[in-house]
Structure 1
Amino acid sequence: MTPQATANSLFGDFTVKDEIKLGGEFDKMVRNRLPIILDPQIEGYVKHLVAKVAKHIPPQPFPITATVIRNNAMNAFAVPGGYVYVYTGLILNMKHEAELAAVIGHELAHVSLRHVARRMEKMKMVNFASMLGTLAGMLVGIAGGGSNMGNLGSAIAVGSMGGATSAYLNYTQENEREADHLGMNYLVAAGYNPQSMIDGFKVMKQRQWHISNTNIPTYLSTHPGLDSRIGYLQDRFKRMPPEYFERKDDDAAFFKVQTLIRARLTSADVALAYYMAIPENERTCLDHLGLGIVYTRMKQYKKAELSFNQAHELCPDDTLILREQGRFFFTIGEMDKASPLLREAYLREPRDAMTLFFIARIEGTRKNYKQAILTMRRVAEMVPHDQEIHYHLGRMLGESGHYFEAHSQLAYAALYGHDMKKAQFHLRKAEGLAKTKKQRDELTKLQETINPKPPEEEGNGKLE
């Protein structure tokens, strides 16, 4: 078996330190160019799941960082330095959490085995600019959210179970076999049924016949030996304790996240067709919740209210339903109905940033700015890089007469929304309003964030 990564690993000139640096720079590009999911319910779930599986990998010289990308393709991939990316399409199309955990385990195996780092070393790509340039070039043309978005996994060539290969960094069959076996170890250690890895393979194979060519996981076409991989994993089952296969799925959180992705992030027409295909007497509270969200998006508010009420009647204590029903009433301007629902959701789950966000906005509409600002600042601490949170915080500060803080927050909002012209505008406004030492310190931080210093030039052209 290939040795695990350690802090002192060195393959020629490509060290773990270099790997961390390269991964960090690539992650910045992804966040600047691709639609990252910041919904705390979705992002938090995926981060928790990745951490649950990663707990069982050998100690790594870098943290494992999980990110969710809004994309319909069934894909997940990893890059050097412990960065793992999961597409919403993968979450939506898996049938159980364990199958998603199997993909994550496979990706973490690639990370712990440093497969990409080893491929780069074999390519003798020890110049930082050439490495980053290769990865950056693979993002060209797919950042705009068009039809080519589904090819990201192919482009970056670092995904694997549902991801991809490329002429530059494709995994070998031996790499995939190693990641299958090691990923299975992680999956089982995390408490999941080993059968779920094969079930995940079968879902991908089945989806091959139901999705367009641009969204077929490249893995399926470039590695046609999927059946043989299922075969050798099944051979392993014969040597595993029978009780491993008696483990049951706990999909409560998984199904909630699927509902949010389907109802809020996919085409409203497609989501509506999905829910309408379910006989009314068989719809669960999450099905009614999904319908309520879809009808809200379609501005069919009477139908939406009916669906939310049905969801609430079936599951009156469900925190997500309370939150989303409160959010609906906020959307249609019925604050007196929204407020008690959101506050009940907050009492049940005080860490839900989305609930606090709408509680703050209600206080803002009531011009209770002191409480609104205090609450929205808490939300910004919980979700620090969300454009909408900083925008509404800036508006509240401006309406209450705190103009320096207002322009500072609006500058952050523009920055996170990738509108540099507007970010610079609000920065200049803030510069003219900074009076106190505290404000000048905050201004310095804002200036460094919006106009970071360029990285120092590499003296010898190689990674250090």
Structure 2
Amino acid sequence: MSATTDSRSMKSPLTVLLFLATLALGTGTLAQSPRLPSLGDASGGLLTTTEELELGRSLLREIRRAMPLVDDPEINFYLDALGQRLVSNAPDTTGAFHFLAVDNRQINAFAMPGGIVGMHSGLILETRDEAELAAVMAHEIAHVTQRHIARMFARGRDINFATGLAVLAGILAASIDPQLAQAAITGGMAAGIQSQIDYTRANEAEADRVGIQVLASTGFDPHAMADFFERLQELTRGAEDAVPEYLRTHPVTLGRISDARGRAEQIQGSFTRDETGAFPWVQARVRALGDPQRSVRRFTATSDHDPVQLYEAAVAYLELGQTREAARLLDRIPPLEAPTLTLTLAEVAQMRRRNDHPAALERLDELDSIYPGNPVVRQLQARVLHESGRHGDAVRVVDRLLRNQITPDPALLRLKAEAADAGGRIAVSREAMAEYFFHRGQYTEAVRQFDDALAARDASPRDIERIEHKRDTARQVAQDMPR
């Protein structure tokens, strides 16, 4: 297989989730590996921190394979930066957190073991300011730090990795398609899924309490959580069939709103609703990339536009390949009324569309001097270097980025594979592509790519030793997963 093509047998997100939900069906159990922990014991003990983190790493790969994730670096960087600021003010944090933007218009969010927090694009669009978005993220962070999922496993007996995935698959399925989740539950495909989900709901009050404190400690208005709950209720008035999915998994009552409001009233201090100034611009970007045609229609339907609306339309036109129209709109945005990084990155995107790589690299170098080490700037530098034929330089920039990541970003691994392949470095390219597949949960394809790397004519003895170790790990995980 080429180093720059995906697996030929990619399953749809719902198919993969349904597959995961069937893992606990019947009497068979998933073979255990040293890399796949046995969760819990006969006494129903609490899931240990190490087991929870290991489950989280495995689950992160499954999420990347099964769920439609937003692949825009700017949106992902914003979400991660906001999440990490909240985590730094949260109690009892252990291990890394991973914040994922799910490309789904449902108003929903979820938390998983190992610090995984998912935010649907629909939720990002419906929050009214950065404080409301931070409130939801703080609530989900609290589910992790208070170890609600670990406590959930304490209720079971002889829980292994397979049943753990089945329970979590039910939660994930509900985040994409409630009907799919209900089919898995009522059909007996994952015994106990509904009771486990219900058990997590009992911890909502604790997640609210801790989340409000995290919100305030980060400098955000603690009233934002109650404000968002009220916003959800507004969205459901007169539309019983359009209940936001977040309400199905996180039930909101008048009492809960009152409790959240009362807790916020007790917290004194000076707070903000928008700490970074980036929220409306990110929200506009989510709208434009999600449905560029609709953004253009909304823009052309009115004549009076503010800078954010101009930016949204420009991003939409760029997405549609209308570079000249995008440039005209970007020129209308006053530089002092837009974040420098946001506006300049839009200009770089316009230059890339025109294949003006020297100008794009010049602007990126300027940004790198203003925001040294910014991962979005560096990733774009690597991409433009690759597009301009400087493949070796692109690989070096990607390697620097990967060294700073606890869990490799599959998008960076794929970029490295493409650049190395174009530069004639076959072993490096196949190794990077194998890691790309591994971190997307496509273990069999990862093994194939590692084999290709070992067979490459430019693989040195040192390369072979390293690649063989990685291949053996991928092969063991592939064998442990059910056929």
Q: TM-score range by the shorter chain?
A: 0.7 to 0.9
Alpha-carbon distance in 2 for matches of 1:402, 1:219: 51
Q: Which amino acid aligns with 2:475?
A: N
Higher mean alpha-carbon deviation, 347-356 vs 207-216, is at 207-216
Q: Which of 392, 400, 404 is 2:427 aligned to?
A: 404
Once the two structures are TM-superposed, the CA of residue 185 in structure 1 deviates from its matched residue by: 2.1
Contact 2:68–2:103 under 8 Å retained in 1: yes
Matched, 1:233 2:233: no
Alpha-carbon distance in 1 for matches of 2:43, 2:128: 40
Q: Which amino acid aligns with 1:431?
A: L
Alpha-carbon distance in 1 for matches of 2:201, 2:430: 54
Structure 2 SS opposite 1:350: coil
Matched, 1:344 2:366: yes
- Deviation track 1:311-367 (CA, whole Å, cap 9, x = no partner) reads 365658712211221122212323344333333222222323343334334444443
Query: For residue 191 of structure 1, what is the aligned residue in structure 2?
Result: 219
Alpha-carbon distance in 1 for matches of 2:303, 2:357: 30
Structure 2 SS opposite 1:306: helix
Structure 1 SS opposite 2:136: helix
Q: Which of 47, 50, 59 is 1:15 aligned to?
A: 47
Contact 2:148–2:203 under 8 Å retained in 1: yes
Structure 1 SS opposite 2:333: helix
Structure 1 SS opposite 2:463: helix
Query: For residue 208 of structure 1, what is the aligned residue in structure 2?
Result: 236
Alpha-carbon distance in 2 for matches of 1:362, 1:77: 35
Q: Which amino acid aligns with 1:401?
A: G
Query: For residue 298 of structure 1, what is the aligned residue in structure 2?
Result: 320
RMSD, aligned α-carbons:
3.8
* Greater RCO (Cα-Cα under 8 Å, separation 6 or more): 2
Alignment of 1:1-400 (within 5 A): 12-17=44-49, 18-37=51-70, 39-124=72-157, 126-136=159-169, 139=172, 149-151=176-178, 166-171=194-199, 175-208=203-236, 213=241, 216-219=244-247, 223=251, 226-241=253-268, 243-244=269-270, 247=272, 249-264=274-289, 266-276=290-300, 279-284=302-307, 286-311=308-333, 315=337, 318-381=340-403, 385-400=408-423
Alpha-carbon distance in 2 for matches of 1:78, 1:187: 17
Higher mean alpha-carbon deviation, 312-321 vs 350-359, is at 312-321
Q: Which amino acid aligns with 2:218?
A: A
Once the two structures are TM-superposed, the CA of residue 385 in structure 1 deviates from its matched residue by: 4.0
Structure 2 SS opposite 1:168: helix
Seen in structure 2, the aligned counterparts of structure 1 residues 186 and 199 have a Cα distance that, compared at 3 Å, is: same
Structure 2 SS opposite 1:311: coil
Structure 2 SS opposite 1:193: coil
Alpha-carbon distance in 2 for matches of 1:312, 1:270: 24
How many percent of aligned residue pairs carry the same amino acid?
21
Contact 1:26–1:136 under 8 Å retained in 2: no
Alpha-carbon distance in 1 for matches of 2:435, 2:180: 30
Higher mean alpha-carbon deviation, 46-55 vs 208-217, is at 208-217
Contact 2:98–2:117 under 8 Å retained in 1: yes
Unaligned runs of 5+ in 1: 1-9, 143-147, 158-164, 458-464
Alpha-carbon distance in 2 for matches of 1:357, 1:61: 28
Contact 1:71–1:150 under 8 Å retained in 2: no
Query: For residue 160 of structure 1, what is the aligned residue in structure 2?
Result: none
Once the two structures are TM-superposed, the CA of residue 196 in structure 1 deviates from its matched residue by: 1.0
- Deviation track 1:182-206 (CA, whole Å, cap 9, x = no partner) reads 3222222222212211111122222
Query: For residue 25 of structure 2, what is the aligned residue in structure 1?
Result: none
Alpha-carbon distance in 2 for matches of 1:21, 1:416: 14
Alpha-carbon distance in 2 for matches of 1:393, 1:81: 27
Alpha-carbon distance in 1 for matches of 2:417, 2:267: 57
Contact 1:262–1:271 under 8 Å retained in 2: yes
Alpha-carbon distance in 2 for matches of 1:402, 1:172: 49
Q: Which amino acid aligns with 2:168?
A: L
Contact 1:68–1:85 under 8 Å retained in 2: yes
Once the two structures are TM-superposed, the CA of residue 252 in structure 1 deviates from its matched residue by: 0.9
Question: Paired residues, what number?
Answer: 429
Structure 2 SS opposite 1:68: strand
- Deviation track 1:29-76 (CA, whole Å, cap 9, x = no partner) reads 212211334544333332332232233333245444433322222222
- Deviation track 1:1-45 (CA, whole Å, cap 9, x = no partner) reads xxxxxxxxx984233244444444333321221133454433333
Structure 1 SS opposite 2:111: strand
Once the two structures are TM-superposed, the CA of residue 259 in structure 1 deviates from its matched residue by: 2.7
- Deviation track 1:103-158 (CA, whole Å, cap 9, x = no partner) reads 12222333333333333333446444333333235556x8xxxxx8254997799x
Once the two structures are TM-superposed, the CA of residue 406 in structure 1 deviates from its matched residue by: 3.0
Seen in structure 2, the aligned counterparts of structure 1 residues 335 and 174 have a Cα distance that, compared at 3 Å, is: closer
Contact 2:44–2:156 under 8 Å retained in 1: no
Seen in structure 2, the aligned counterparts of structure 1 residues 261 and 449 have a Cα distance that, compared at 3 Å, is: farther
Q: Which amino acid aligns with 1:32?
A: R
Contact 1:24–1:81 under 8 Å retained in 2: yes
